[in-house]
């Protein structure tokens, strides 16, 4: 019987699946966002979120456990130095899956999976909106200030003549 054995094998052997998930997790940690199929993204989410939780406490044992899953020194270092600091107060849900449609070749459902606090595009848009609002207010304030200073100067010039 297959009771309680709900696990997507992704059409691969166990060793191939583990190697693929390890490589995808390293890429996610390095680049903060990767594009993949929805099934792989869901499997990756279950694989990488416990590792991120483990990285919150920086001990030798937790580093060894994470390294045994990732097998990449750079990814482990970045996970413990940068990512764990940024997500220290978050209780879970470190990744986000956003569906992007179907792939042209085989019509597979595609998405990108990203780390939640590293969404650079939305951060850029928010800062651009804030900057544009402050620019407008500065321009209008500067225009009012220059008009206020120019008018008395013009009147002084006329009275001097």
**pLDDT tens digits for 92-144?**
999 999 999 999 999 999 999 999 988 766 666 666 666 555 555 555 555 55
Per-residue pLDDT at 119: 77
Per-residue pLDDT at 38: 97
**90, 116 Cβ separation under 8 angstroms:** yes
Per-residue pLDDT at 7: 87
Cα–Cα distance for residue pair 158/106, rounded to 1 Å: 79
Cα–Cα distance for residue pair 79/118, rounded to 1 Å: 13
Q: Quote the percentage of the chain above a pLDDT of 90.
A: 67
Token couple for 128:
């651009």
Cα–Cα distance for residue pair 112/132, rounded to 1 Å: 29
3-state secondary structure of 10: coil
Per-residue pLDDT at 158: 53
**84, 56 Cβ separation under 8 angstroms:** yes
The closest alpha carbon to 49, from 96, 97, 92, belongs to 92
3-state secondary structure of 8: coil
Per-residue pLDDT at 32: 94
Mean pLDDT, residues 10-34: 96
Cα–Cα distance for residue pair 41/20, rounded to 1 Å: 11
Confidence check: pLDDT of 44 > 90: yes
Q: Which DSSP helix (H) or strand (E) runs through 83? A: none
Does the model's pTM come out above 0.85?
no
Per-residue confidence band for 62, with pLDDT thresholds at 50, 70 and 90: very high
Who contacts 23 (Cβ-Cβ below 8 Å, separation ≥6)? none
**67, 76 Cβ separation under 8 angstroms:** yes
Confidence check: pLDDT of 51 > 90: yes
């Amino acid at each position: 019987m297959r009771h309680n054995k709900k696990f997507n094998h992704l059409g691969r052997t166990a060793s191939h699946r583990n190697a693929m998930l390890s490589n995808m997790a390293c890429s996610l940690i390095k680049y903060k966002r990767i594009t993949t199929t929805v099934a792989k993204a869901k499997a990756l989410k279950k694989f990488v979120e416990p590792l991120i939780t483990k990285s919150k406490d920086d001990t030798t044992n937790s580093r060894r456990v994470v390294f045994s899953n990732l097998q990449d020194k750079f990814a482990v270092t970045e996970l413990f130095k940068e990512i764990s600091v940024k997500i220290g107060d978050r209780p879970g849900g470190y990744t986000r899956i956003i569906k992007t449609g179907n792939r042209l070749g085989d019509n597979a459902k595609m998405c990108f999976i990203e780390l939640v606090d590293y969404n650079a595009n939305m951060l850029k848009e928010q800062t651009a909106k804030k900057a544009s609002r402050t620019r407008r207010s500065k321009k209008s304030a500067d225009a009012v200030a220059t008009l206020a200073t120019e008018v008395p100067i013009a009147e002084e010039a006329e009275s001097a003549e």
